[in-house]
Chains A and B, each alone.
Chain A
C-alpha cells in the first residue's frame, strides 16, 4: 500500500466519520459546524470533547457497577419462599452444581468484561492526557477490544428477561427481575457510550 506518511489533520483535511470522504477544512473556526459535502454528516477533526465525555461516562459506569453487583438481579419465589440472587451468587450456584461452562460465561460477561472495560478506558484516557508515546499500536488494539466486547455483557440482562418470561407458574415458581438488573443495564449502556466517545486518534496525535 502507498503510504503518504501524513495525517488528515496535518494536511488540513477532515475525514467524514460515516462515509470516509476527505474534505478541505473551511472557515476560520476550523470545524465548528461543517457538514460532509457527500453524505451530510457533521464533520469533526476529532470526536468532540472526547476525553471529558469518556471520563464522565466511565465514572458513571463505575458507580452503577456497585449496586449492580451488590443488589439482587433476580428474585425467585417458589412455594411461598422468596430467594434473592446477586450476579455472583448466580455464578457460585452454577459452580456448585457443576455447570462450569455456564458459570464461566456469566462471570466473564457480567463481572470480568465490565471491569476490564473500565480499567482499559481509564488507562487509555490517562495515557492520552499524559501524552505517552508508549506503544501506540498496542494501545489502539486495546481500544478495539473495549469496543467489541462491551455488548456481550448484555447476556445476563437477556437471561433475566427470558427467566421472567418463562418462569411464571403461579404459586409453584415465579422469577422476577431484581433492582440490580436496572443498574447492570446502565453499566453496559454507559460503557458502550464511553467506548464510542473515546477517539483513538488522540493516541496518535502526540506521535507527530
Chain B
C-alpha cells in the first residue's frame, strides 16, 4: 500500500520512490542522506563477487599469513595465530573481538549472502529470507578487514627495523578479498531482496 513512498531514515521526511537509471542514487531533499539506489545486474554481480570472496576467504585462512625472520630465527603465522596468542594470554574477550571482526563476521556474511542470493538466482525464496538478510546486514559495521589491513601495514613498519617481515599467500588473498567483498557490498541493491519478499 505504501510501497511507493519511503521515509528518510535520518530525518523521517517522506519521499515518493521514483525509477532511477542504472548507477543512480536518490538522496533526501532535506538532510541529504542516501535513500535508495539502482545497481546494474545487482543479483548476478553480487553473487559472483560473493563466491569469489568465499574462495579468497578460505585461502586467507589456511595458508601462511605473515612470517618474521630475525637472524637465524623464523616465525611463521596464520591469520588466527594472534587470536590464539591473546587467548593464551588470558585475554579471552579481546581474542573473541578480534576473531569476530576479522574471521567470523566476514564468514557469516559470505555464507548468509550465498544462502539468500543462490535461491533468488534460480527464482526461489529461501526459508527465513527476511531474518537471514536482516541479520547479515546488521553485522555490517562489525566486519573490519580493511581496518585490520591498516593494522598489518603499521605492524610491518614497526617491526621492519628489527626483523624481515615476509608476507605470505594468505595475506595477498586477504587483500584481494577486501576489495572483492567491498565490490560485492557495493553492487547489492537491497530492494531486489525486499521486493521478492513482498511478492511471496
Contact = CB atoms under 8 A, between A and B. Distances in A.
Interface string A4-45: 111111010101011111111000000000000011110000
A166 B73 CA distance: 12
B82 A161 contact: yes
Nearest to B81: A165
Given A169-B73, A172-B73, A201 B93 contact: no
Contact of B11 (A162, A185, A200): A200
A123 interface: no
A181 B159 contact: no
A168 interface: yes
A126 interface: no
B197 interface: yes
Given A20-B9, A185-B94, A196 B151 contact: no
B9 A164 contact: no
B2 A159 contact: no
B86 A105 contact: no
A188 B82 CA distance: 19
B160 to A, nearest CB: 9
Interface in A34-77: 38-41
A34 B11 CA distance: 21
B31 A140 contact: yes
Nearest to B156: A162
B197 A19 contact: yes
Contacts of A6: 13-14
Interface stretch (B53-61, B113-121, B141-149, B178-186): B141-149
Given A158-B102, A192-B141, A204-B12, A7 B7 contact: yes
Nearest to B83: A161
Given A4-B15, A158-B151, A22 B29 contact: no
Contact of A173 (B14, B162, B165): B162
Contacts of B137: 18
Contacts, number: 211
Interface in A127-157: 136-137, 140-141, 143-144, 150-152, 154-157
Interface string B19-61: 0000000110111110010000000000000000000000000
B144 A151 contact: yes
B122 interface: no
Interface string B148-176: 10111011011101100100000000000
Interface in A173-192: 173, 176-177, 181-182, 185, 189, 192
Given A11-B14, A182-B91, A200-B10, A18 B144 contact: no
B15 to A, nearest CB: 6
B78 to A, nearest CB: 9
Contact of B10 (A162, A185, A201): A201
A161 B83 CA distance: 7
Contacts of B26: 1
A18 B17 CA distance: 17
A181 B141 CA distance: 20
B91 A204 contact: no
What are the 8 tightest A-B residue pairs by CB atom distance, in nearest-first order?
A158-B151, A165-B82, A161-B82, A8-B7, A15-B7, A22-B2, A39-B130, A165-B81
Interface of A: 1-9, 11, 13, 15, 17-24, 38-41, 94, 97, 99, 102, 105-106, 109, 136-137, 140-141, 143-144, 150-152, 154-159, 161-170, 172-173, 176-177, 181-182, 185, 189, 192, 196, 200-201, 203-205
